[in-house]
Structure 1
Amino acid sequence: MVLLSLILPPILLLLLYFIVRPRPVTIPIKNRHVFITGGSSGIGLALAQQAASQGARVSLLARSLNKLQEAKESIRRSSGLDVAIFSADVRDHDAVQKAVNDAGPIDVLVVNQGVFVPQELEKQGLDEIKFMIDVNLMGSFNVIKAALPLMKERKDRLPASISLISSQAGQVGIYGYTAYSASKFGLRGLAEALQQEVIADNIHVSVVYPPDTDTPGFEKENEVRPELTKLLAGSSGSMKADEVAKKALDGIKSGSFTVPCNFEGHMLAIATAGLSPQRSFLMAFIEVAFVGVLRLVGLFFQWNWYQTIENWHAKKNRT
């Protein structure tokens, strides 16, 4: 038995070496064009600052021209570098297409825009639901559709990247996140299929799964979160935008398909790996070895969530 436990891991690693696709890759950032949507604040701005500090040529797209100009000045002060800014609504494909054409061929596309209004589905208006899906999901299609032809025609043929900023709510559904989770879960399906379509063009897709992140949007969200949402989602803590940006940029540069940002994110990534691409032989080994254990842990968390929901409703009914 001891001998078997010593032999199996290297055999499994050797097997994974032959079957894991696609293979490891490094995506250079320096002297390349990084185009970031939702780049005027929060994670997008932090990503822009870090990419610029590493020598990238950065372009930002967002709706508010005033916020874009503030972001541009902020990056100039921190790095001494200039960035290009484009005001457009990602729901408007023609406006996005014009911005992309004006920006020029893109090497690293970061699809970062996102809106979130937490509310139970029964209480949430269809206009709010449509707004989230249009910005978070359809907006991502608009941006990628606009950028992809030029990305495929890039002359240097170095590895390129399309990165989608999802959320841990795109890995697991949470009370009060019905519409938001639907829009963020959709990004994974988009990414998995898109990776197969663009791998022959040396374009590598990443999906970043940040937890709650200290941004202006997060502050507004906290003001309207349902009480049960705060109880269920608030225990996992939050990260600074700079921390998330660093994790995201490191994941993009390594061509990782799944990019978690904290310990909980790594556990969720393993537990929900499914048929997602995996470049790392070590991570593939961990997924194979620990998925059963993490399923048990996941069931425990689900039990705890539903217990909290039952207790909350029981308490509410007594008052």
Structure 2
Amino acid sequence: MAGDLDLLTGTWTVRVKGWVWEYDFRGDGGVTWRDLGSMESGVGNWAATSKLVNIWWKGSTTRESWQRPLTNSNDHTWYEAPYYRGKYRIEKTGFVAPSPTPPSGPTDANLIDRAWEASRTSLRFAVNRLRLLQRQIKYFEESGGSEDAFNELRRNYRRDMAVVSRKLLVPMNPMDPAFRSALASAIRLFEQNLALPKSLKAARDGGKCAASPQPWASAAGRTNPPDIDLCTIWFEADADLQRDVVTHEYFHICGVHDIEGVDTTAKALDNANTLAQVVAYLHDRARQKNSDGAEPMIPALPTP
């Protein structure tokens, strides 16, 4: 049954009573979870026997078991916690029931729709994370610097603080005025991007794509409604890069520029690529380099 453990690796949607969580399993025995409602998250481990995959979480007495062999969607599970005991539903993310005929390749419209939805999902997640971080900073301040509030910041927002600090070039201290100002500016720009309507065209080698060599996409500046052409090279990229290019181009619609040599916070907040990658690093909790493979994070960012 070793093959069913190959199915385990990746992301699963887990529904327990009224909660909806995402579990992300790694092949090395690690697993992370995040709550799709509150954006809370945690880490744990898994181990397999001949009949079960057993899961446990750091700092929790909750224990879970999934029966083997695994399938893409089932309720052959058991949850043991003080607040619930019983079965629950699991489903491998992205699972599509087999079709009797081989599916045709995705059309340009399919790829555009997928990237648009992925861009909006990552932006919503990033805004939620930064809003929660902002709220926790305010709680820490109002508590007079309580140890519990400080520990909550370190425990649940280490990655978010590191992303803001390193990509927006501000001190790691969340109480520093520069950090808090950059955080508020990022939230405002993310919300502006998220509020824009969909307007993406498959220009490929025509339209605005013909104006410059090898562009990924081209936006007509700060326009209302948006006007963005997607070029041939965009359609050949992987899904994460397609998503982040869409996010990048919509920052241009918000009035953000392309800046070489980002060495100040002001430049970082006015650089579409920096902002798009902040969104990606916040959403992709294990990401350690840009979606185009550039700028590896050394030292590595905290995960998840």
Q: TM-score range by the shorter chain?
A: under 0.3
**Of Structure 1 and Structure 2, which has the larger fraction of its residues in strand?**
2
Higher normalized helix content (fraction of residues) = 1
Which structure's relative contact order is higher, taking Cα pairs within 8 Å and 6+ residues apart? 1
TM-score normalised to the size of structure 2? Answer: 0.27
**TM-score, scaled to structure 1:** 0.26
